[in-house]
């Protein structure tokens, strides 16, 4: 049996999974072992796994010894296979062949208990007893908020890594998973176009994105979708929906044979609606097209909520490269004695560490507006 590693770095994935998480795990482990000769502990199921391990130990020295023995005896793939093992000592083999795979081999979860200060204190105590020198948290907005709280409440070096297909973290130009999700949406639009053209239909496709429309607008630009509706335009009224339908009808009178409409899930309606936006928009469009005297009364509108399809699939080269760059910058911050806690961010195509709670990039909003204008000019018929 090998001895328990000295001063390891721990890594966990939290919140919704995103393509590129596995590529990051591979990079953070390989750089630790090959370049810096620092062992890496993988925490299963994010904060939930960390909290579960902390509760098992619960201040009892005997349980702590047992946990350390489990980690050293069941390292690498052996530890990953055991679904009950919360903390795994990662090795080269455990991250071999995972770079392009979607999801995360460590698992991810949301943990409501982590909102409680006493629960976070237990997690911190466990990490300190294991001799962990730094914790790397990979995830979206909520996960990075948890990382910030750990940084404020402990002496650990805590580094966050943005990973969310929503691209709603405004301090970085791109998060892990966005590039792959856009590719997946383009693939989906390509398939919907085939049937839309064949039957002269309007297809309304709902994308993910939370309160951000970035995913939808990037997919619209890349796929050639005829229309994109995002939360940034404000609540969608009946009059606005009629205007969109009128725009589609006008294009069809000028020769367009179909329309693909992307609507981001964060779009709000006035008055508020409880159904998915794609279905609300379908009903409004259908009502407009079937009005008395309309030129295309037989025009069909078909809605589809693309959902979690967007989170899966083989990670693109862009996400794999960004994962490696984030991992390298994370290690620089971890090992720099004068370094600080923070989050890896892509700004002006350069990866750097920004502080928790840093201001949004002002150019993000300007860039989104420019993409909207570009799409409008490219899609007009």
Q: Could you tell me which residues come within 8 angstroms of residue 219 by beta carbon, excluding any fewer than 6 positions away?
A: 182, 185, 186, 189, 207, 225, 228, 262
Three-class SS state of 22: helix
Strand bridging mode 201-207 / 87-89: unpaired
Name the 3-class secondary structure at 138. Answer: strand
Task: Spell out the alpha helix ranges (H) of 224-336.
Answer: 238-253, 277-289, 317-335
- How many angstroms separate the CA atoms of 304 and 154, rounded? 46
What is the spatial distance between Cα 206 and Cα 190, in angstroms, rounded to a whole number? 15
Asked if 170 contacts 357 with a C-beta cutoff of 8 angstroms, the reply is no
Provide the token pair at 107.
């698992």
How far apart are the C-alpha atoms of 351 and 240, rounded to whole Å? 40
The answer to whether the CB of 227 falls within 8 A of the CB of 326 is: no
Residue found under tokens 């993988």? 42
d(CA 327, CA 46): 18
Which of 266, 305, 21 has its CA nearest to residue 188? Answer: 305
Cis ω for the linkage preceding 147 (within 30 of 0): no
Closest to 92 measured CA to CA, from 76, 111, 112, 109: 76
| 343 beta partners | 160, 354
Q: Could you give the residue numbers annotated as active site?
A: 166
**DSSP secondary structure letter of residue 176:** B
DSSP, collapsed to helix, strand or coil, labels residue 56 as: helix
Nearest Cα neighbor of 227 from 194, 209, 252, 253 is: 252
In angstroms, the first-to-last Cα distance of the chain is 70
């Amino acid at each position: 049996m090998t001895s328990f590693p000295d001063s390891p770095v721990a890594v966990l994935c939290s919140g919704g999974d995103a393509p590129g998480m596995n590529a990051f795990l591979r990079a953070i482990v390989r750089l630790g072992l090959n370049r810096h000769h620092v062992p890496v502990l993988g925490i299963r199921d994010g904060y939930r796994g960390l909290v579960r391990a902390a509760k098992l130990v619960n201040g009892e020295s005997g349980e702590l010894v047992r946990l350390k023995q489990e980690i050293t005896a069941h390292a690498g793939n052996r530890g990953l296979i055991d679904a009950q093992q919360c903390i795994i000592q990662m090795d080269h083999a455990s991250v071999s062949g995972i770079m392009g795979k979607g999801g995360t081999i460590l698992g991810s979860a949301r943990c409501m208990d982590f909102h409680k200060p006493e629960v976070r204190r237990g997690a911190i105590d466990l990490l300190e007893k294991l001799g962990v020198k730094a914790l790397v948290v990979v995830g979206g907005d909520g996960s990075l908020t948890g990382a910030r709280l750990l940084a404020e409440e402990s002496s650990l070096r805590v580094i966050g890594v943005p990973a969310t297909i929503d691209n709603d973290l405004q301090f970085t130009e791109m998060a892990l998973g966005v590039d792959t999700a856009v590719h997946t949406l383009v693939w989906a639009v390509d398939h919907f176009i085939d049937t839309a053209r064949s039957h002269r239909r309007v297809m309304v496709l709902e994308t993910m994105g939370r309160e951000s429309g970035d995913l939808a607008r990037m997919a619209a630009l890349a796929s050639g979708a005829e229309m994109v509706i995002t939360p940034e335009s404000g609540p969608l009224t009946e009059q606005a929906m009629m205007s969109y339908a009128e725009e589609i009808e006008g294009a069809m009178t000028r020769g367009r044979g179909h329309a693909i409409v992307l609507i981001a899930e964060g779009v709000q309606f006035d008055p508020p609606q409880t159904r998915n936006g794609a279905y609300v928009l379908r009903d409004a469009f259908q009502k407009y097209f079937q009005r008395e005297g309309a030129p295309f009364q037989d025009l069909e509108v078909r809605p589809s909520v693309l959902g979690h399809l967007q989170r899966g699939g083989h990670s693109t080269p862009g996400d794999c490269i960004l994962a490696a760059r984030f991992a390298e910058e994370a290690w620089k911050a971890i090992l720099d004695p004068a370094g600080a806690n923070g989050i890896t961010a892509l700004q002006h195509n350069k990866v750097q560490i920004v502080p928790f709670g840093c201001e949004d990039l002002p150019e993000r909003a300007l860039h989104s507006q420019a993409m909207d204008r570009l799409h409008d000019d490219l899609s007009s018929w």
